[in-house]
Amino acid sequence: MGSTMRAAVLAALALTVAANVSGCGDSDKGSTPGGSASETTKGGDLGSDSTGAGKAGKNGPSILGVDPCTLVKPADAADLYQEYKPRKGEVMKAPACIAYDYTLRIESKSFDKLKSSNYLYKNEFEIAGRRAAQAVGGVCKILLEVNSSETLELQVSISNSPPAPKDEAKACGAAKKGLEAAASRLPS
C-alpha cells in the first residue's frame, strides 16, 4: 500500500476511534473532544482570572475563526510524524487540523463542560498556565482551556504501526508539547 493511502487509512482509523471513544453522554451538538505540565488539584477557577498572565479569561479572544493548522505543527513535537502535511477540515462539527497521527479541534464548548461529559478525562493539570485534562484509551487526548466558551482538543494516535507513537507516554508527551506550542500561538 502506498504511503499516501496508508496515511489516509490511518487518519480515518484515528478519527473513527476518536468518535467511538469520546462521544458518550453529551446532549449538546457535537461530542466530547480530544511538556512542562505541572500537576495541580482542581482548586480555583482559572477561567475567571482575566488578568492572570497566560491564563484564559472569561472574556478572552475567540479562536473560532483561527485556522487550527496554524496552532500545532508536526515540528512542534519530535514524536509526531513529520512527513504528512496537515490539512484543515471539520471533525464532529468542529474546526480541525487533521494530520497523520494527530487531530486538533477547536471546540465551542467550555473546558468544564467537555471535561465533565467524558469520564475518561480524569487528571487535571496546567499547560502554559491554562487548565488541561488528559484522557487515554487507544489515543491520548488532551483538552486545553482557551476561554470560558472555547477549548482546544489535541488527540495523538497510539499505534504499533510506525510512525505513530506506540505507547501512551510518547503519545501524551507529543500532545503536551503540541499544546504548549498552540498556547504560545493563541491570540492574547
Q: What's the start-to-end Cα distance of the chain, in Å?
A: 44
Chain centroid to CA 109: 13
Mean local confidence (pLDDT), 150-159: 92
Task: Please give the sequence-ordered ranges of beta strands (E in DSSP) within the chain, or none if there are none.
Answer: 38-39, 87-91, 94-98, 102-107, 123-127, 130-136, 139-147, 150-157
Residues 97-113 have pLDDT tens digits of 999 889 999 999 999 99
Residue 62 has what DSSP assignment? P
Q: Report residue 75 as a C-alpha cell.
A: 515540528
Beta-bridge mates of residue 123: 134
Q: Report residue 74 as a C-alpha cell.
A: 508536526
Identify the top-confidence range among 26-30, 33-37, 73-77, 182-186. 182-186
Q: Report residue 12 as a C-alpha cell.
A: 480515518
Position 75 scores a pLDDT of 87
Mean local confidence (pLDDT), 16-27: 35
Beta-bridge mates of residue 107: 151
Rounded CA gap, 77 and 62, in Å?
25
Would you place residue 121 in the very low, low, confident or very high pLDDT band (cuts 50, 70, 90)?
Answer: confident
Share of residues in the chain with pLDDT > 70 (%):
66
Would you place residue 69 in the very low, low, confident or very high pLDDT band (cuts 50, 70, 90)?
Answer: very high
Residues 24-44 have pLDDT tens digits of 333 333 333 333 333 332 222
Nearest to 105 by CA among 4, 15, 13: 15
Chain centroid to CA 82: 18
Position 38 scores a pLDDT of 31
14 burial level (CB within 10 Å; 0-12, 13-18, 19+): buried
Regarding pTM above 0.75, the answer is no
Position 46 scores a pLDDT of 27
Would you place residue 59 in the very low, low, confident or very high pLDDT band (cuts 50, 70, 90)?
Answer: low
Rounded CA gap, 151 and 143, in Å?
7
Listed range (87-91, 96-100, 168-172) with the worst mean pLDDT:
168-172
